[in-house]
A and B are shown apart, each in its own frame.
Chain A
């Protein structure tokens, strides 16, 4: 029956979604509650004395003006710096689309049922997309609760776009994980490859920012993290070409995963 895999995956995942969401929401809340502890103008003066590469390393980069606002502190200090953490959840979920169940033999049972491989992949992918949305919504809730509890006076509305911009980024990471698993077959191989990809991308983004104005600067554009820049989003709102890029690449990776998974042996 169409939708049965989607519903079951959601049933199996909602507790983890809550755990991840609450954990990240608590972290967001903590960062929001820290805002009143800093005088943003003092911080700006302090940071202005830092060389650009140090600013890049701590995630501020060229967004000093933005960072020195309450919303900028939260956007860059939490959403910008935690991008690597946000990539962990979609990797975990992406591994579950094929690799985990293939490795432990459950996929044999599932694919012996009247359901096509494509249907299994697509329904699982969509279920995990919903769980990503749930995690991000909880993070947004954490920001709002932190603001209320600490009387911080944040313009939470300005952080809406920074928060929900995480969804295409996280779906992109999940699609990349699914693709690697569809090609590599073995769970540990897939996990190794995707971890290397995510860490390398994060490093390239940092190098690109730190090496601004040098020949190494373009390296940052290779990183998928570069298209989630909390400071830029706070200034400009949704950057639709970047979002379209994430969505298009995710769809391409989904299509390639389906093509590959349809044509190979399962569980060998």
Chain B
């Protein structure tokens, strides 16, 4: 349903430089983000996440393809689009000699409707425990980030574009950030956030796109992405890992990446538990712990080419 998508990217490529020095930052990227979802855009540094965001904001121009937001062309109608979006850059720079309140007032004045925007900004700042009377140069990196979030959200945009939003935020503020995002989504608004913090994406996103070397590897719901067929199993034996148990586990087709260290064994299980349980029963098991794969595991699986469910 591309027509109703909030973000619609078609065949987008971005090449920096030319000739032998050409670098492909994005390669024929096609992606849609639907209204009311929080879309996580995952990838390591240099994958092309920020390049995608900068194209969406018309800060850079694509080499090929197109991008639209709210059905408007990201390049030709950028001013109309920017009226309805909030943006937090990955590396936020603001006017060092101005106070948080002055920066807010400036940006509110560019947006128009100063009074209500500033009021909303003050509420957000209070919620994030940010002192906006301080000059930007006196703010810690975490507080600058909070100010960036306030600026991005203070005009109640329909779409938030956030580049690594929780970088530098302490865990308590991260929690507040998650609450803000969920409230934002509950109002039917949309968030497009790039991150390499997978637990954050797991906690708040509906869908995730995985980007690598400018190439979109997969787009899935977080549930589908985490619905994989393997588990990590940890077994603690009282008298060390018995040799016959270790050998038996190694021989099980469902077990891989087996590691034994003293009395502790760790393995990856892909399949039923029963053969594993029968094998370890030959030893005295003190503890058995089953660990769900983290998104990091899935992430690594994608990057190693295995894909989810491997």
| Contact with A111, one of B58, B85, B111 (Cβ below 8 angstroms) | B58
**B87 beta carbon closer than 8 Å to chain A:** yes
A12 touches B61 (CB 8 A): no
The prevalent SS among residues of A at the interface is loop
Closest 3 CB pairs of A and B: A105-B93, A265-B60, A112-B87
User: Does B208 lie at the interface of the complex (its beta carbon under 8 Å from any beta carbon of A)?
Assistant: no
Q: How far is the CA of A267 from the CA of B61 in the complex (A)?
A: 12
The 8 Å CB contact of A5, one of B61, B92, B110, is B110
> How far is A113 from B95 in the complex, measured between Cα atoms in Å?
15
Check if B112 is an interface residue, CB within 8 A of chain A.
yes
With A and B bound together, what is the CA distance between A109 and B136 in angstroms? 14
Identify 11 new A-B residue pairs, CB closer than 8 A, beyond the known A8-B109, A108-B54.
A12-B97, A106-B93, A106-B94, A108-B87, A109-B87, A109-B89, A111-B59, A112-B59, A113-B82, A114-B79, A265-B59
Q: Is the CB of A112 within 8 A of B91?
A: no
Residues of chain A with a CB closer than 8 A to B94's CB: 106, 109
> Which single member of A4, A12, A263 contacts B110 (CB below 8 Å)?
A4
Flag whether A116 is at the interface (Cβ < 8 A). Answer: yes
Q: Is A46 an interface residue (CB 8 A)?
A: no
CB-based contact B16/A114 at 8 Å? no
| A115 beta carbon closer than 8 Å to chain B | yes
Question: Would you call B198 an interface residue if the criterion is a C-beta within 8 Å of the partner chain's C-beta atoms?
Answer: no
With A108-B89, A109-B151 in contact, is A116–B60 under 8 Å at CB?
no
> Can you name the residue of chain A whose Cβ is closest to the Cβ of B51?
A268
Q: Which residue of A lies closest to B81 (CB)?
A: A114
Please measure, in the bound complex, the distance between the C-alpha atom of A170 and the C-alpha atom of B110, giving whole angstroms.
Answer: 28
Tell me the complex Cα distance, A111–B93, Å.
13
Min CB–CB distance B95 → chain A (angstroms): 7
Which residues of A have CB within 8 Å of B87?
108-109, 112
In the complex, 25 of the A-B residue pairs with CB atoms within 8 angstroms, ordered by the A residue number, are A1-B110, A4-B106, A4-B110, A5-B110, A8-B106, A12-B95, A12-B98, A105-B92, A106-B95, A108-B87, A108-B89, A109-B89, A109-B92, A109-B107, A110-B110, A111-B58, A112-B89, A113-B111, A114-B82, A115-B82, A116-B78, A264-B61, A265-B59, A265-B61, A268-B16
Chain A residue with minimal CB distance to B161?
A: A112
Distance in Å from the Cβ of A175 to the closest Cβ of chain B? 24
Interface centre among B54, B57, B91 (most CB of A within 10 A): B54
Flag if A114 contacts B59 (CB, 8 Å).
Answer: no
Interface string of B93-104 (1 = CB under 8 A from A): 111011000000
Question: Is the pair B89, A105 in contact by a Cβ cutoff of 8 Å?
Answer: yes
Bound CA–CA A110/B78 (angstroms): 13
What chain B residues lie within 8 Å of A264 (beta carbons)?
61
A252 interface residue, CB < 8 Å from B? no
Taking CB atoms, residues of chain B closer than 8 Å to A263 are 61
A116 to B60, alpha carbons, bound, how many Å?
14
Closest to A111 in B: B59
Q: Chain B residues with Cβ under 8 A from A265's Cβ?
A: 59-61
- For chain A, give the interface size range: 20 to 34
Is B85 a contact partner of A112 (Cβ separation < 8 A)? yes
Given contacts A111-B59, A265-B59, A266-B59, contact A104 B111 (CB under 8 A): no
Contacts of A106 in B (CB 8 A): 93-95
Q: Are A115 and B110 in contact (CB under 8 A)?
A: yes
**Does B80 interact with chain A (Cβ within 8 Å)?**
yes
Contacts of A116 in B (CB 8 A): 78-79
**Chain A minimum-CB-distance residue to B85:** A112
Interface check B83, CB cutoff 8 A: yes
Contacts of A108 in B (CB 8 A): 54, 57, 59, 87, 89, 93
Q: Cα distance A267–B95 when bound, in Å? A: 16
* Residue in A1, A109, A267 whose CB lies within 8 Å of B109: A1
Specify which chain A residues have a CB less than 8 angstroms from the CB of B111 in the assembled complex.
1, 113-114
Q: Which of A208-248 contact B (CB under 8 A)?
A: none
A113 touches B107 (CB 8 A): yes
Chain A residues, CB < 8 A from B59: 108, 111-112, 265-267
- For chain A residues 90-115, which have a beta carbon within 8 Å of chain B? 104-106, 108-115
Our pick among A1, A12, A104 for the contact of B93 (Cβ within 8 Å) is: A104
